[in-house]
């Protein structure tokens, strides 16, 4: 099959096989986890590669100040995924449980209600970003050129916010129904198209003018619109050309304003929105703090964060695999199986992060060199930050996997609390101390660690209590 030739599947499979031979995880559960996780990891790599390509292409075509402008716009665009991804946690919890219980009618109701909920949440965001782009960007810095680049990007990319939200809902619907391959194919194709459009719109081609940061934003909007449309058509028809039959078919005709279902989505999703938004919101003061270190450190930080995004992609796969598999077993009242999947997927996730972090650390300098020109003063700072990120990313394997398992149960409050403590209470003060004391850049290294170690410890402790069992019974299908 196609997956055997895929290096991502092979890498995850080898890690899983090694862990199962050591007796740390069950071989059958490792295979099911691998089958669900690897397409999502590929999707994450494609999306994060797209973000990295935005920064690299804009840096080459326009300059480092444009990279900083994208860095300022990034938290606002990230709010889209915080809101959409958080509400999608409610979607995958309901869909996976109803799919496991073989209740297609209730599954369809969950899908339609999720679409309404995410549109109500994201359209106002799009309007605010489009209408107030410049003052929003100006909050983060004072350099007029950087502000102009950031505002130009945000003003255009705002048009893609509702499409991105709908895509997140649709992908969780399919993953909750055991199909991670279709979202991978659709979203990877979208990310590839985005990079191609970047090349045309940023640099110009033939009669097409070079649009710089506006071109990067326009490419993102077009790609997200196409992805959302493809998902909507596929789920409505139950199949797609070149892909084939999908595990779910949801008619667009039906009730959308289902108060009880929307309430469940919001009650599960709101803490997840808070969890996702914690880092997104924290990026605003974090960028302001990093600006105090100087423009070279700011560029290095933006580059290191792009690399962090790529390094963090295993968590996308393992977190959603945990949500799907834990939720399906809860849908059939198999609580012990759900608990076993939660524990073993966490071990699997950590093992994969160790391998990925080791490889990135080994090639840190040439990877950083892809973003900035040779001799740029940001290079040594960025390399050091990447090393810190490689160390801090390992506990992220625990935080992501357990958060995914808790999402399936409806117990989403504690992952939000853990993220808030790690990021706002600890990481931000450490970074600020680095900016105003001799602690220096070491404060940024410690901030990376605080973001992951604290959520990992709190999330795992919460899962170990088993209180999620009673909470999940409130959301299971009758």
Q: Is residue 30 part of a domain?
A: yes
**Which helix (DSSP H) or strand (DSSP E) does residue 371 occupy?**
none
A 10 A CB-CB count for 360 gives: 19
Token output for 259: 């108060």
Summarised one tens digit per residue, pLDDT across range 57-79 is 776 666 667 777 777 787 888 88
Say how far apart CA 339 and CA 276 lie, in whole Å: 24
Q: What 3 state SS string does 247-263 have?
A: CCCCCCCCCCCCHHHHH
Cβ(323)–Cβ(411) below 8 Å: no
Say how far apart CA 2 and CA 9 lie, in whole Å: 10
The confidence band for 361, taking pLDDT boundaries of 50, 70 and 90, is: very high
- Distance between start and end Cα atoms, the chain: 38
pLDDT at 1: 47
Say how far apart CA 47 and CA 44 lie, in whole Å: 5
Query: What's the longest Cα–Cα distance across the chain?
Result: 64
Q: Residue 294, SS3?
A: coil
Q: Nearest to residue 30, comparing CAs of 349, 401, 358, 459?
A: 349
Say how far apart CA 30 and CA 16 lie, in whole Å: 6
Residue 411 backbone dihedrals phi, psi, to 5 degrees: -90, 75
Indicate if the pLDDT at residue 233 is higher than 60: yes
List beta partners, residue 240: 244
Cβ(415)–Cβ(398) below 8 Å: no
Q: Is residue 463 part of a domain?
A: yes
- Give Cα 315 distance to the centre of its chain: 9
- Give Cα 148 distance to the centre of its chain: 27
Indicate if the pLDDT at residue 116 is higher than 70: yes
**Which helix (DSSP H) or strand (DSSP E) does residue 230 occupy?**
helix 213-237
pLDDT at 349: 94
pTM: 0.72
Q: Is residue 256 part of a domain?
A: yes
Residue 155: Cβ-neighbour burial (10 angstroms; 0-12, 13-18, 19+): buried
Q: Nearest to residue 7, comparing CAs of 52, 33, 45?
A: 45
Say how far apart CA 408 and CA 88 lie, in whole Å: 11
Say how far apart CA 251 and CA 112 lie, in whole Å: 9
Summarised one tens digit per residue, pLDDT across range 128-171 is 999 998 998 888 777 788 888 888 889 999 999 999 999 988 88
pLDDT at 60: 66
- Taking residues 238-263, what's their average pLDDT? 82
DSSP per position, 93-135: HHHHHHHHTT-HHHHHHHHHHHHHHHHHHHHHHHHHHHHSHHH
Q: Nearest to residue 404, comparing CAs of 231, 227, 275?
A: 275
Q: Is residue 478 part of a domain?
A: no
Summarised one tens digit per residue, pLDDT across range 299-351 is 888 888 888 888 888 888 898 888 888 888 887 788 899 899 999 999 999 99
Q: Nearest to residue 58, comparing CAs of 227, 220, 295, 280?
A: 220
Which DSSP state fits 209?
Answer: P
Say how far apart CA 447 and CA 291 lie, in whole Å: 15
CA 445, 446, 447, 448 dihedral sign is positive
Domain count, the chain: 1
Token output for 333: 């009242």
Summarised one tens digit per residue, pLDDT across range 18-41 is 999 999 999 999 999 998 888 878
Mean of all residue pLDDT scores within the chain: 84
Q: Is residue 477 part of a domain?
A: no
pLDDT at 478: 58
A 10 A CB-CB count for 159 gives: 18
Give the chain's length. 478
Helices assigned H by DSSP within 5-103: 7-21, 27-61, 64-100
Tokens 């394997």: give the residue.
Answer: 397
pLDDT at 68: 76
Find all residues with CB under 8 Å of 205, minimum gap 6, and list them. 199
Say how far apart CA 176 and CA 408 lie, in whole Å: 10
Q: Is residue 465 part of a domain?
A: yes
Tokens 């994969």: give the residue.
Answer: 352
Q: Is residue 292 part of a domain?
A: yes
- Give Cα 401 distance to the centre of its chain: 13
Summarised one tens digit per residue, pLDDT across range 338-347 is 899 999 999 9
Domain interval for residue 115: 2-472
pLDDT at 210: 60
Say how far apart CA 227 and CA 186 lie, in whole Å: 6
- Taking residues 397-423, what's their average pLDDT? 88
Strands 239-240 and 244-245: antiparallel
Q: Is residue 85 part of a domain?
A: yes
């Amino acid at each position: 099959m196609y997956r055997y030739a895929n290096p991502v599947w092979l890498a995850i499979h080898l890690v899983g096989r090694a862990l199962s031979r050591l007796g740390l995880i069950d071989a059958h559960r490792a295979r099911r986890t691998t089958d669900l996780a690897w397409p999502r990891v590929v999707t994450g790599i494609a999306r994060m590669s797209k973000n990295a390509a935005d920064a690299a292409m804009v840096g080459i075509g326009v300059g480092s100040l444009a990279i900083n402008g994208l860095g300022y716009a990034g938290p606002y665009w990230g709010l889209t995924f915080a809101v959409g991804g958080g509400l999608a946690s409610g979607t995958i919890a309901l869909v996976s449980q109803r799919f496991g219980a073989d209740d297609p009618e209730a599954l369809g109701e969950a899908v339609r209600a999720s679409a309404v909920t995410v549109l109500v949440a994201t359209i106002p965001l799009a309007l605010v970003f489009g209408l107030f782009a410049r003052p929003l960007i100006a909050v983060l810095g004072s350099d007029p050129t950087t502000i102009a680049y950031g505002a130009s990007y945000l003003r255009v990319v705002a048009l893609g916010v509702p499409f991105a939200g709908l895509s997140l809902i649709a992908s969780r619907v399919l993953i909750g129904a055991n199909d991670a391959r279709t979202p991978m194919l659709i979203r990877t194709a979208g990310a590839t198209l985005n990079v191609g459009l970047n090349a045309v719109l940023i640099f110009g081609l033939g009669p097409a003018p070079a649009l710089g940061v506006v071109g990067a934003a326009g490419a993102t909007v077009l790609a997200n619109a196409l992805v959302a449309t493809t998902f909507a058509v596929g789920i409505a028809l139950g199949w797609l050309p070149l892909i084939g039959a999908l595990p779910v078919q949801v008619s667009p005709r039906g009730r959308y304003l289902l108060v009880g279902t929307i309430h469940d989505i919001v009650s599960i999703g709101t803490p997840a929105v808070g969890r996702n938004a914690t880092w997104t919101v924290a990026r605003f003061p974090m960028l302001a703090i990093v600006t105090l270190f100087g423009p070279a450190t700011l560029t290095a930080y933006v580059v290191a964060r792009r690399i962090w995004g790529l390094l963090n992609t295993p968590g996308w796969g393992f977190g959603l695999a945990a949500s799907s598999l834990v939720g399906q077993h809860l849908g059939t009242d198999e609580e012990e199986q759900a608990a076993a999947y939660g524990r073993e997927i966490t071990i699997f996730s950590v093992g994969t992060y160790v391998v990925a972090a080791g490889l990135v650390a080994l090639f840190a300098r040439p990877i950083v060199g892809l973003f900035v020109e040779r001799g740029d003063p940001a290079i040594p700072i960025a390399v050091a930050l990447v090393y810190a990120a490689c160390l801090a990313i390992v506990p992220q394997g625990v935080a992501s996997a357990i958060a995914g398992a808790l999402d399936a149960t409806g117990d989403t409050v504690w992952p939000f609390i853990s993220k808030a403590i790690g990021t706002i209470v600890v990481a931000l003060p450490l970074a600020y101390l680095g900016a105003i004391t001799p602690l220096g850049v070491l404060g940024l290294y410690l901030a990376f660690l605080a973001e992951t170690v604290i959520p990992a410890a709190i999330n795992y402790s919460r899962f170990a209590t088993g209180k999620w069992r009673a909470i999940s019974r409130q959301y299971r299908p009758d």
